[in-house]
Amino acid sequence: MNILVVGSGGREHAICYAFSRSASKPKLYCANGNAGIASIARCVPIRPDDITVLSEFATSEQIDFTFVGGETSLALGIVDEFNRRGLRIIGPTREAAQLEASKVFAKDFMARYEIPTARYAVAHSSGFATLMLESGDFGDANAPVVVKADGLAAGKGVVVARNRAEAIGACQEMQSVVGSAAADKIILEECLTGREVSLLAFVDREHFILMPPVRDHKRIGDGDTGSNTGGMGTITDASLLTAEQTQTVIDSIIRPTLHGCIRDGFPFRGILFFGLMMTNDGPKVLEYNVRFGDPETQAITVRLKTDLIEICEAMYAGRLDELSVQWQPGASACVVIAAEGYPGKPRTGDEIHGLDKAAANEHVMIFHSGTALANKNDGTLATAGGRVLGVTATGNDLSTALDRAYKAVREIDWPGMQYRTDIGRAN
């Protein structure tokens, strides 16, 4: 079987890793991949947003399944184009992808189907958002406000402002941070309090199978301090959600979401990600993602026991209800190591040391994100992005998984590397 994975980060490395463990031994391709992915898949130099070329490649190489990693390809309509050509692909259509690509679309969808979420208001420019705040139409002067750009912003389009003044500043700076297209509309939200957790699901339009609950750590610094990032580490552990809480999420959020997608004419097939806040009033949706998260995927795939190809076949055929997906018991942890300067402009080109020693640790898998081949003769790798590696480990319990991950992290070295020391332990 020939499989194409679209993307180039740690998420795509983790997806390729899961496919590589299949008993059917598929031939893997990744567009455009990275130095770590190259060890298990053939990396092809096609950009994830070059949909026409990707579809032509899938046709010429007789790809049996394409699996889309990132949101940009989905928002551009890669699934629609592959469907038009009769090519099998896992992911939502362009219309369904608006659940992530437009926060206004998602919030209005939630309101329409009475899916619990934060109170919100939509402003059609940063100027209007500022006026709404200054006039007192949204929140008290000393109350926290969440400011969100409408469009895709690579994790940088959300600011949790401590008060009205900070929120006004965030509105005025949003375009310079995420670009005018993403900030064409601004959403103001009440700031929910509680514990954040995410649930991801395999979805075949009508049926779904949940993955282990996962928690991300977005801030760059220990104690959840500093700037927001794409994610500095994740954990999976049964303690993140009780059985009762999970059932409440299913009943009040997941089923109404899938029902709403069908009612609105864009049945969802692929990976659906529910970012949740567990408040005193019950779970509420912070955001939808329409694909695997990064670095959530790393912590999830190391626990997946069922063949991912089998899951994809069931998703595509609409028979997830006939499949029992098995997970390794216990917990997992992923610690991201980033380059100096991240989440701003990262320094690249630094040679990475200790990878082989770290990877030799039992129950540890190292997923590459921003790496490149520095020396073809000896295989030396160098940093080539902001988030460079996702050091991931499993264990019978969370403490063991964290100890294993951090032991491997400490064996890796390059100038200026940075990572959080409190993944899984921060509130």
- At 157, which CATH number? 3.30.1490
Residue 387 maps to a domain: no
Is the same domain home to 200 and 287?
yes
* CA nearest neighbour of 275 among 202, 215, 332: 215
Q: Please check whether residue 299 is in contact with residue 217, taking contact to mean a CB–CB distance below 8 angstroms.
A: no
**CA-to-CA distance for 167 and 130, rounded, in angstroms?**
8
Instruction: Examine the domain organization and report whether 144 and 256 are in the same domain.
Output: no
Domain boundary among 293, 322, 351: 322
| In 207-280, beta strands by DSSP E | 208-210, 214-216, 219-221, 225-228, 233-236, 269-279
Check residue 100 and give its pLDDT.
Answer: 97
Any idea of the CA torsion for 100, 342, 185, 152, to the nearest 10 degrees? -30
**Co-location of 205 and 170 in the same domain:** no
Give the closest residue to 282 by CA, choosing from 240, 253, 255, 254. Answer: 253
> In this predicted structure, what is the pLDDT of residue 184?
87
Residue 278 lies in a domain: yes
Position of tokens 């740690």? 10
Residues 276 and 201 in one domain: yes
CA distance linking residue 425 with residue 135, whole number of Å: 40
- Counting as low any pLDDT under 50, the low residues of the chain are none
pLDDT of residue 288: 97
Please report the DSSP string for 149-215 in residue order: ESS--TT-SEEEESSHHHHHHHHHHHHHHH-TTTTSSEEEEE---SEEEEEEEEEESS-EEEPPPEE
Residue 174 lies in a domain: yes
pLDDT at 427: 57
Over the stretch 216-272, which tens digit does the pLDDT of each residue have? 999 999 999 998 899 999 999 999 999 999 999 999 999 999 999 999 999 999 999
Separation between Cα atoms, residue 151 and residue 398, nearest integer Å: 35
Which amino acid makes up residue 230? G
Give yes or no for a contact between 265 and 327, defined as CB atoms under 8 angstroms apart: no
- Half-sphere exposure in the Cβ direction for 39 (13 Å, CA): 13
**Count of domains in the chain?**
3
- Domain range spanning residue 137? 125-184
Same domain, residue pair 132 and 60: no
Q: Of 150, 116, 159, 120, give the one whose Cα is nearest residue 138.
A: 120
- The CA distance from 297 to 304, in Å, is 10
Q: Among 273, 305, 322, identify where a domain stops.
A: 322
Strand-pairing partners, residue 13, are: none
> 3-class SS at 121?
strand
Residues 153 and 199 in one domain: no
Task: Collapse the DSSP code of 134 into the 3-class scheme (helix H, G, I; strand E, B; otherwise coil) and give the result.
Answer: helix
Inside any domain, residue 241: yes
For residue 8, report the phi and psi dihedrals to the nearest 5 degrees.
Answer: -145, 15
Strand 186-190 to 145-149 pairing: antiparallel
Whether 332 is covered by a domain: the verdict is: no
Question: Rounded to an integer, what distance in angstroms lies between the CA atom of residue 84 and that of residue 426?
Answer: 46
Position 181 scores a pLDDT of 81
Instruction: Let me know whether 200 and 318 are in one domain.
Output: yes
CATH number at residue 22: 3.40.50.20
Beta strand pairing call for 158-161 and 186-190 = unpaired
Q: Indicate the residue among 292, 322, 352 that finishes a domain.
A: 322
Strand partners, 412: none
Asked if residue 142 and residue 36 are part of one domain, the reply reads no
Strands 195-204 and 158-161 turn out to be: unpaired
Residue 260, token pair as written in the block? 């709403």
Identify which of 389, 372, 390 has the alpha carbon closest to the alpha carbon of residue 381: 372
Q: Are residues 244 and 167 in the same domain?
A: no
Distances (CA, A) of 23 to 42, 248, 307, 366: 19, 36, 8, 22
Residues 50 and 143 in one domain: no
110 is a domain residue? no
**Which CATH number covers residue 288?**
3.30.470.20
Tell me if 71 is assigned to some domain: yes
Contact 133, 164 (CB under 8 A): yes
User: Prior bond to 343 cis, omega within 30?
Assistant: yes
CA–CA distance, 183 with 173 (Å, rounded to integer)? 10
pTM above 0.85, yes or no: yes
Please check whether residues 201 and 297 belong to one and the same domain: yes
Q: Quick one: tokens of 363?
A: 């129950």
Co-location of 269 and 290 in the same domain: yes
Extract the tokens encoding 53: 């070329």
In a domain, 39, yes or no: yes
- Sorted by sequence, the CB contacts under 8 Å of residue 108 that are 6+ apart come out as none
Query: What is the chain's Cα-based Rg?
Result: 21
